[in-house]
């Protein structure tokens, strides 16, 4: 009888633990790519959250495997809108690639994909520094809760 009670409790604990975990998606949560506002070879048409048309390079500049750490925090902008600020720490190789690409693509855009959705494409006004830190700010109507949960699950922090 005690054995059956122990087995039932152990099974319940395993079930509860499984429910509390967020499954990791099998795709990259964060991707950065070069984008343009006009057609060009090697650039596919894409729409952002604001329904603006961009043409996004087929080549991924940065993806999850080149991000050493990512942390998302909620904050508010001056108008009181909730933003998700995601701070990234890139590998040295990825940081160098971002610096080189942004230097040679001034006037183009840096397309930001979060959880497979184009959430923005800010203009590249100069080289993004060669250091390994990058910040991404995203606001509604992007699915902030889903993105924050995916980032937290992929880059778990143990304190």
Higher pLDDT, 71 or 10: 71
> What is the mean pLDDT of the segment spanning 119-133?
85
* pLDDT tens digits along 49-95: 677 899 999 999 999 999 999 999 999 988 898 999 999 999 999 99
Spatial neighbors of 35 by CB under 8 A, at least 6 apart, are 43, 46, 54, 55, 56, 57, 108, 109, 110, 111, 121
* pLDDT tens digits along 84-99: 999 999 999 999 999 9
Q: Output the pLDDT for position 35.
A: 96
Query: Residue 61: which domain range?
Result: 30-154
**36 located within any domain:** yes
* CATH number of the domain bearing residue 122: 3.30.1360.200
Please state the domain count of the chain: 1
* Separation of alpha carbons 50 and 70, rounded Å: 24
């Amino acid at each position: 009888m005690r054995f059956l009670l122990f087995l039932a409790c152990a099974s319940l604990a395993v079930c509860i633990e499984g429910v509390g975990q967020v499954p990791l998606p099998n795709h990259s949560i964060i991707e950065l790519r070069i984008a343009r506002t006009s057609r060009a070879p090697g650039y596919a048409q894409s729409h952002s959250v604001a329904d603006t048309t961009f043409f996004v390079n087929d080549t991924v500049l940065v993806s999850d495997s080149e991000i050493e750490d990512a942390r998302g925090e909620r904050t508010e902008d001056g108008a009181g809108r909730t933003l998700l600020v995601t701070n990234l720490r890139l590998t040295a190789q990825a940081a160098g690639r971002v610096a080189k690409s942004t230097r040679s693509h001034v006037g183009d855009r840096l397309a930001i994909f979060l959880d497979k959705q184009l959430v923005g494409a800010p203009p590249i006004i100069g080289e993004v520094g060669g250091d390994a830190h990058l910040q991404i700010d995203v606001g509604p109507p992007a699915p902030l809760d889903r993105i924050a949960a995916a980032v937290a699950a992929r880059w778990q922090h143990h304190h």
